[in-house]
Structure 1
Amino acid sequence: MKLRLLRFIGAFYLFFIFSETLRDIMRYPERWQNQNFDTARWFLGHLQSSLLFLAYALFSYLFLYYYYKKISKTVVFVALTVIAFGTIGLRYVTEEVIIKAITGYGNYYEGTTVAYYIVDNLYYAMLYTAFGVCWFFVHYAVVRDRQQQELLLENKKSELAFLRSQVNPHFLFNMLNNIYALINMKSDKALVATEKLSQLLRYSLYETDKLVTIENELDAVRSYIDLERLRFRESVQTTITAATNVQHIQVTPFLLMPLVENAFKHGVVTDATQPIMIKVQTDQDRLEIEVLNAVATREKDEVGGIGVENLKKRLALTYGDDAGMSTEVIDGQFIARIFIKLKP
């Protein structure tokens, strides 16, 4: 509050000097054309009045600061009017009663009526009360905008956290089904699958709230493929191509996993002529990821499930316009592409 008041007072005096100088030049141009005119003395002569002018602005600002959101706009208007006329009365008592009693001099000529004093001070009342009102609403707009941005950020974080929480149960559910199938077949590979799953769960639990390297993400994908390889009696056909310069690039976690899951769910996984292909490379200032798989004829529903849609939303929330994702089916091949603009 102190810092705001110091800024307020500083801005007020800049406005006061500008407005009073402009007003004085317009009323007494010959005075300012006089080379012997003492501007410092002129300012000191106005300093006493400026303290009371400050009261117009300060009282209106403080009133709005504490009560604007608590009362109706009609009451605000009435209250500001009362503050303006009340400050006129305060100035009259200060200059024409107290100071005059002490020094013998007032700010107005002898015989000035109260009515004339009030009318003559309406200019200052409106000008400096308006300054206080304008200052409050500018500050209020800035604060509201900041609060709105903070609210949007919190909503974005909450939505992103919700989307991430969807990834893990969805992924875990699929893996438990895989292990259940191995156990049902009385396969000795069930223990190996359980170990692989524990590694993936560790990655899932401890890496989802921060960025991870492409290297870590690919390691998780390889573990997932190993689990799927244990489940399928026939060999799983996959190829992973990653440029050496992408290994340490950091990305949001579980970037590849939904696409690979989608490929196993909807694609051909055991045909050596049509392997699941995972490519990660850079093109100038962009990271490019591509996952390609042949669409299995057994699938009747639309290719791409909750994992793919979830990933699109997470990319938008995390990277905004700096990332994008596209999916298409060409000649029986489902192709998912992701690009992320790399920061210099």
Structure 2
Amino acid sequence: MKLRLGRFIASFFGFFLIMEALRDLMRSPEYWQRFLENPIEFTLSILQSALLFICYALFSYLFLYSRYKKQPKWITVAGIITIALGVIGLRYLVEEVILKAITGYGNYYEGTTALYYISDNLYYAILYTAFGVCWFFVNYAVIRDQQQQELVLENKKSELAFLKSQINPHFLFNMLNNIYSLINMGSDKALAATEKLGQLLRYSLYETDKLVTISEELDAVMGYVELEKLRFRESVQTTIHCDPQALHLQVTPFLLMPLVENAFKHGVVTNPNLPITIHIGLEQKILQLKVSNAIAQREKDSVGGIGVENLQKRLQLTYGSDYSFEKTIADEVFTVVIKIHFPS
């Protein structure tokens, strides 16, 4: 979400002119007379008020922009109230202390109490603080709506990319031929392979429009690995470790699948010393997903394909600043580490 201070300031002054300057000019002929007699002095007076009143809106907007998602809601409310009262104090300092010392005139009569000054300024505090708050939430809602639409689009792209790269006619014919061979040999693996293929198709077609649990994502990944094993003469080497506390967590679908698919496309998956390794941990509300695999010599320049790039985009749209994505290559091993922070 961008700050967009230029739009904010322009909108505020438009709002201020409607609420204060034009209202006063329409309400009393005296204001017209003052404006006609000395337009410069009148304009400077209006500008002074605007610069003070914008503090209510601007400070509230900046406070929400920087802190809204990082703290409990009651702290946010307390912060807004503190800002409003603080700006009242700032206005008192400027008008009743600084300007009065310079010009000899204040905005209030001598003897005005602090309580009266605060109560008299509550109208402006509430009005212009509300402007800053409303500006933030309107922009926040617009940005969230745009991100949601982008996320839906990216999820569809992810689904289509996966279907094209794996659940395509070539992949299906391959799997069906393997299953046919198993049936022809009377192997007990035929039924299990057919079930795995059905589960993978179902997951890729029906689970992309909602959140899934880590357990569901792992089931899909293991089903995919079992199917890939059918086309390898050598044994596919995989190591999977998952913290049981993480299994129930809901995440965006296809977090692990693109990384495992990438390992089969660009990596060595039959080396017992360097297996495909999947590690899922949960510590202090931070979920860590780590996938590593040996790099095939012929594919050094292709490590991390479109699926990995798409995954990064979906993570950004789904989790904003609550995630990190790191990929490294060391000792011929490609590793991706994803960390997702789950609020309390």
TM norm structure 1: 0.58
Q: How many residues align?
A: 240
Matched AA of 1:314: R
Once the two structures are superposed, residues 168-212 of structure 1 have per-residue CA deviations (whole angstroms, 9 ceiling, x without a partner) of 111111222322345678953698766534322322343333332
Ranges in structure 2 where 5+ consecutive residues have no aligned partner: 1-13, 33-107, 109-120, 184-189
- Cα deviation, 1:6-29, whole Å, max 9, x if unaligned, reads xxxxxxxxxxxxxxxxxxxxxxxx
Task: Please name the residue that 2:28 is paired with.
Answer: 84
Identity, % of aligned pairs?
44
Residue of structure 2 equivalent to 1:269: 269
Cα 1:246–1:139 shift into 2, 3 Å: closer
CA gap 1:85/1:141 in 2 versus in 1, 3 angstroms: farther
Cα separation, 2, equivalents of 1:186 and 1:258: 24
Write the mapping of 1:245-284 to structure 2, written as runs, cut at 5 A.
245-284=245-284
Cα pair 1:279 1:289 within 8 Å, conserved: yes
Q: 3-state SS of the aligned residue for 1:292?
A: strand
Q: Distance in 2 between matches of 1:284 and 1:135?
A: 39
Q: CA deviation at 1:251?
A: 2.2
User: Gaps (5+ residues) in structure 1?
Assistant: 1-67, 89-122, 124-129
- Please list the CA deviations of residues 199-227 of structure 1 after superposition, one character each: whole Å capped at 9, or x if unmatched: 22322343333332221111010111122
Please state if 1:142 is matched with 2:125.
no
Which residue is 1:168 aligned to?
159
Q: Say which of 147, 163, 177 aligns to 1:156.
A: 147
Instruction: Please state how far the C-alpha of 1:246 moved relative to its aligned partner.
Output: 2.5
Question: Which residue of structure 1 aligns with residue 187 of structure 2?
Answer: none
Report if aligned partners of 1:291, 1:335 keep a CA contact under 8 Å in 2.
Answer: yes
Query: Is 1:297 the counterpart of 2:312 in the alignment?
Result: no
Deviations 1:29-57 (A, max 9, x none): xxxxxxxxxxxxxxxxxxxxxxxxxxxxx
Task: Give the 3-state SS of the residue equivalent to 2:28 in structure 1.
Answer: helix
Change (3 A) 1:224 1:84: farther
Q: 191-200 or 247-256: which moved more?
A: 191-200
Equivalents in 1 of 2:26, 2:281: separation in Å? 70
2:281 aligned counterpart, secondary structure: strand
User: What residue is the counterpart of 2:171 in the other structure?
Assistant: 178
Note the aligned Cα RMSD (angstroms).
Answer: 3.9
Q: TM-score, normalised by structure 2?
A: 0.58
Instruction: Report what 1:244 is aligned to.
Output: 244
Partner amino acid for 2:216?
N
Identify the residue that residue 120 of structure 1 maps to in structure 2. Answer: none
Q: CA deviation at 1:340?
A: 2.1
Identify if the C-alpha distance between structure 1 residues 279 and 135 changes in structure 2 by more than 3 Å, giving closer, same or farther. Answer: closer
**Counterpart-to-counterpart distance in 1, 2:254 and 2:129:** 44
1:235 aligns with 2:226: no
The worse-fitting range, judged by mean Cα deviation, of 235-244 and 194-203 is 194-203
The amino acid of 1:84's aligned partner reads S
Distance 1:146 1:342, change over 3 A: closer
Whichever of the two has the greater Rg, that structure is 1
Distance 1:341 1:186 in 2: 41
**Residue equivalent to 1:341:** 341
Distance 1:185 1:250 in 2: 34
Deviations 1:278-334 (A, max 9, x none): 111234443222111000012153311122122222223322333211110111000
Structural mapping, 1:18-167, within 5 Å: 80-85=24-29, 138-167=129-158
For residues 238 and 135 of structure 1, do their structure 2 counterparts lie closer, same or farther at Cα, with a shift above 3 Å needed?
A: closer
